[in-house]
Amino acid sequence: MNKKQKRTLVRIILAFVLLVGLIAAKELGFLRFLDGKWYAFVPFLVPYLLAGYDVILKAAKNIAHGQVFDENFLMMIATFGAFFVGEYPEAAGVMIFYQIGELFQGIAVGKSRRSIAALMDISPEYANVERDGKLEEVDPDEVHPGDFIVVKPGERIPLDGVVTEGASLVDTSSLTGESVPRSVRTGDEVISGCVNGQGTLRVQVTKEYEDSTVAKILELTENASSRKSPIENFITRFAKVYTPAVTIGAVLLAVLPPLLFHQDWMEWIRRACTFLVISCPCALVISVPLGFFGGIGAASRIGVLVKGSNFLEALAGAETMVFDKTGTLTKGEFKVQEIRAAEGISEEELLETAAYAESYSEHPIAEALRAAYRDMHQGDASLFDLSRVDSAKEIAGKGLSVELDGAPVLAGNAALLQGQGIEAPKENAAGTLVYIAKAGKYLGCLVIADSLKPEAREAVSALKAAGVRETVMLSGDRRETAEAIASELGLDSVYAELLPQDKVAKLEEIMSAGNARERTAYVGDGINDAPVLARADVGIAMGALGSDAAVEAADIVLMDDDVAKIAATRKIAKKTLRIVKENIWFALLVKFAVLILGAFGIANMWMATFADVGVAVIAILNSMRMLKKQS
């Protein structure tokens, strides 16, 4: 509770004590001398103004600016009317209980903001930059790419960069929600917002602060509340029509029966005031955005950034989940999965020949072959004697040829060997096949494939358990490879050998085939999937610990690339939507019921107070359920 809220609480308590004292004094006859006097309302005016002077000031300011119809105006007119008809305790009581409701709202919003503000603590206050051999503590905005900074144990990494000296464990929990620290050493990338562990790191900065991970995330978080869901937009439009309508209704209720049917003016003014108190739309205009805000906060605590309540609502209705393959369901790291040596050839000889053949190539497949050879020899980097390799030549679309120890070596697809008259058996595998021949002799082939993320299978199962109707994978990979991965994960459909533009067309085809009310989510790595992420009803990107493309292209970002968190986020989204709808129906049913009772004179001002403040408080407490830790 902040200082302003504490002051409001003190005012409420003082006003409540005064009101109770005045009511007791009136019942005991101590205020009998005021009976029939025009100034009988003055004692009750003290707790009324003590509790609600700011409401009257807000109403007056809004009227001066042409913004008449809001809850402050309704409360002011209703309580003024209560004073006019002689219901002094009721007028003061209504204002006190209205302020109680406002206090609950402030506390709830503050708690919800703090759940997201934990993310805002990632903002670094300073950077230790190296200048002329000395460390200077400067604002991160003053550091530029190429500068060197030192991050001491316990300090927050202020800018994105590459470690040039040192090794440490980095706490990424503020970004990813994961409690297990990440090991970093010389050559590794580090991102701003994380906390350095026990080792000192020297880092070369790669981005300006305004382009850094922490700046992108803070901008995303700050803008999240501006993107309203369809339900929020409906409530905003509803309140704009509803408030003037009930005000006009209250005027008609106060005027028409006395004019047309010669009823008692005071009685119908009292009913009109009761009508106004009941009709305040507080429960709707407060609890609905608060519910969504709580949902966004709950998602942020598990390392998922949602750019707005509209995307949270869209995810709740997503019945079809479409996945990219590389970098999403797989690690995006090629590895040698099988070594199929020909008869009379050892696996070591085959792998050695392949590694030397690919020794000058920068292709991921070449790196996978070299890494496998190093692993076979316990990572000994001195194994490669590049003087053994000569005449390296790339053959477009087929592979390459080199001379190894003076003998010609071919490494590539089956067509490369066939073109040189070398017979090779037809191999089938869920991956890329690299055929190797030396001195005209077939040595064997190696199967290279991307490995599945360990959580991918769990993610697909969890989504199906959560009610997702269809899971689909889109891939540019070979059909055999894509189908093998889809089968292993239990996906419903797979489309392979797609170009980026083909993915957009295929997604539109999937979306048009579904129910118009259903939503389609696309999950990609955010680097080469931007068009598809933008086209989907909700785009979910792998954050890659802060990938710029992911943060900018997607509607929802998984900061630690854990696809298993999609199901958890969808669960949060559905719970948020359920709570919001509960609040709407509860508020409308209670209000309309008491409105009818008030119009017939059955409901008094205290019942009206419950219909307004009581319903608002209950709705706020219901919304605050989203602020609890989600499983």
Residues annotated as part of the active site:
324
C-alpha torsion sign, points 480, 482, 483, 489: positive
The contacts of residue 490 (CB under 8 Å, 6+ apart) are 457, 460, 461, 464, 471
Instruction: Report which DSSP code applies to 453.
Output: P
- b (16+ CB within 10 A) / e for 187-207: eeebbbbbbbbebebbbbbbb
The SS3 assignment for 630 reads coil
In the three-class reduction of DSSP (H, G, I as helix; E, B as strand; rest coil), residue 292 is classed as helix
The neighbour count for residue 278, using CB atoms within 10 Å, is 30
Alpha-carbon distance of 495 to 477, in angstroms, equals 9
Q: Are strands 168-171 and 399-404 parallel, antiparallel or unpaired?
A: unpaired
DSSP string, 589-623: HHHHHHHHHHHTT-S-HHHHHIIIIIHHHHHHHHH
- Strand 470-474 to 318-324 pairing: parallel
How far apart are the C-alpha atoms of 579 and 568, rounded to whole Å?
17
Q: Identity (one letter) of the amino acid at 423?
A: E
Which residues have a Cβ under 8 Å from the Cβ of 503 and sit 6 or more positions away?
324, 474, 476, 529, 531, 532
Residue 151, SS3 per DSSP: strand
Looking up tokens 């103004």 gives 49
Tokens (6 digits) for 552: 């900018």
**Treating both helix axes as pointing N-terminal to C-terminal, what angle do 615-623 and 88-120 enclose, rounded to 10 degrees?**
10
Contact 292, 229 (CB under 8 A): yes
Axis-axis angle for helices 71-84, 230-261 (nearest 10) = 20
Q: How far apart are CA 520 and CA 502, in angstroms?
A: 17
In DSSP notation, 391-432 reads EEEEETTTEEEEEETTEEEEEE-HHHHHHTT--------SSE
